[in-house]
A and B are shown apart, each in its own frame.
Chain A
Amino acid sequence: MSDFLSLFTTDFILYALAAGLSLAVVAGPLGSFIVWRRMAYFGDTLAHSALLGIAIGLLTGANPQLSIILSCLFFAFILTVLDRSPNVSTDTLLGILAHSSLALGIVVLALADSIRVNLEAYLFGALLTISASDLAWIIAVTIGVGGILLKFWNEFVAITVHADIAEVEGSRVDRLNILLVLLIALTIAVSMKIVGVLLITSLLVIPAAAARLLAATPEQMAIRASVIGCVAVVFGLLAAFVADVPVGPSIVVCATLLFLALTLLRGGKA
């Protein structure tokens, strides 16, 4: 048992825990918006396209974290602009971008012989290899994203409930939409290392979906989603050590179990 507790005094475990928890805190409210606005596939597309950003970053020798962030912001912007085209439906557009950029990213990485990349780490996350500078990025971004979310919370909720009413009441709906999309893109970019390209959206969406079962207001849902996300991170990390399985998938499995448990509990009451 003391062995087990001593785990939590190890640097890399503390880094992993701090990174996972700070992400879970902002993932609660952001994930709620993704659920409310049916943007899950949008988040997926951003995550997939980030692999292309990673490839380009590695080729040009840029800071990998920075190149992921820039590519996520770039694709978020492109998606928002292209989405206004009436000739391609949103889900088709997302399908094209998500998989073409993922494929292109993998092809570019494979062609660049000089680069040896652990692709699995990007696809499924490598929370335990997080460095102090990775952690600094994650904390800086989550503080920034969290601060902006708090400041514009009522505006974001208002445009989500009814954009026209919000606009008549004086909200700048277009700008707020873009801001929200950029916050999601930023968060996805820094959580790449935690759960990986393929699992990021689940960390945003599953705690929010679970929290829906416990909430009567948007604020309750957002806060409870954060709490559920934090629980999933802690137990996911623990389970990963006990069972010696990859951390990212373990966290996602924990979140899913929480969702299932809550669904069964609430279903029993109804």
Chain B
Amino acid sequence: MSKIRHFIQQSWLLIAASFFFGLLIAVTSAGLSPRIEQNKINKRNRLVGALLPEARNFVALDTALEIVSVSGRKEKVEVFRAESEAAECVGWSFNAAGPGFADKIELVVAVDSKFEKIAGFDVLSSNETPGFGDQIKYDYYRNQYKGAPAGELELVSIGEPEDIDSKIVAITGATVSSEAVVEIISNSVTQVKEQMQGKGIIGNVKQQ
């Protein structure tokens, strides 16, 4: 009994403070969570909206697909159907990630409605070297992907970035970052396409 009393005498302030601070964080988090979640959705929609200009609405597929990531792990991918004002499918988008030069690179990838061509990608988060690897965010690099075939891509060191094909010209001084993006997109697009074809989702779009 005296041990319990001693424990309470010593730590009552710590226990009370833990309870009070925990409550304070819980209330703040509950109050701000909807806004934080909305910010994430807005950012994604804004990025995909720029890649698929006709898209007005993004509807998540009922079932999440599972792909093997570049690093060899199984990851769930949520695919969104981009719809125009008339509710017609104008493309698809999903998030893809993989290891970059300094840290994980997270991308949002958009493809056309028939899953034949890549509509583009944008960077959700990355920590590539400023001035070098972070050029993966720049238009001149990203534009090479707009209209490229939705399949295996190849990184080349010399070429014309303006030519739209499966060959992606690497950023000078940032080959690792360039290669990382090519691998992430090739890997995810190929697997998502196969699974969507397998489930007849893309076939349904063709019929429309």
Tell whether A pairs with B: no
Task: Write the residues of chain A forming the contact surface with B, with a CB cutoff of 8 angstroms.
Answer: none
B contact residues vs A (CB 8 Å cutoff): none
